[in-house]
Structures are given as C-alpha cells and as structure tokens.
Amino acid sequence: MDNLTPDQKEAVVNSVKLGGVWASVGVSSWSDVASMLAAILSFLFILEWCWKKVLRPLLEDRGIVRRKRRRRTDRADREDFGAETAGDTDRVGL
C-alpha cells in the first residue's frame, strides 16, 4: 500500500470497512446479497400496501390527508362533464 496515493488509500480503507459491515450482518456471498435485497424489497412492498390500503384511507377519512382525485369527473372545475361528447356517437363519456 506504499505506492498508492492518499485518495486511493482512503478508497481501499472505505472498501474494507464496507466489507466488514456486510460481513457483520452475515452477508458473505452474492446469494446472500440477493437474499438481503429481496427481503428489503419485500418489506418495501408490504409498507406500500399498508399505506395504500390501510393508512391512507384512514387518514383521508379523518381529514388529515387530502383525497386523491383519480378521474376527470372528480375535478370541481368540470361540472358540465359530458357536454363535449353530447353529439358524438363514436365516443362514450366516462
């Protein structure tokens, strides 16, 4: 390590530290890395499901979070929805 620049030495030291952290967690092979990433992704999917299906509707009902407007008919500025397709027989209004 004597022929390395100070920046290269710092990079080596940081890489060794990162490897030590992964080893202390129990990750020693690429299959372990893949398993850990799959577990993290699964946890994030579970959190997303809880937010969308449980927490957000609960907070919307209590007025803490504003409701999402999902359709064109949900907008307040479109009270005359369907007027633009009244004479159009090819399209069906939503």
Q: Is 86 helix (H, G, I), strand (E, B) or coil?
A: coil
Instruction: Flag whether 47 is in a domain.
Output: yes
Instruction: Flag whether 55 is in a domain.
Output: yes
Instruction: Flag whether 54 is in a domain.
Output: yes
Report the chain's mean pLDDT, rounded to a whole number.
81
**Where residue 1 falls among pLDDT bands split at 50, 70, 90?**
low
Per-residue pLDDT tens for 35-75?
989 999 999 999 999 999 999 999 999 999 888 877 766 66
Phi, psi values for residue 29, rounded to 5°: -145, 170
Structural domain containing residue 47: 28-64
Of 22, 1, 23, whose CA–CA distance to 12 is shortest? Answer: 1
Domain count, the chain: 1
pTM of the model: 0.52
Instruction: Flag whether 88 is in a domain.
Output: no
Are the CB atoms for 27 and 36 separated by under 8 Å? yes
Write out the two tokens for 13.
């030291």
d(CA 65, CA 59): 6
Instruction: Flag whether 81 is in a domain.
Output: no
Instruction: Flag whether 46 is in a domain.
Output: yes
At residue 88's C-alpha, the angle toward residues 85 and 91, to 5°, is 75
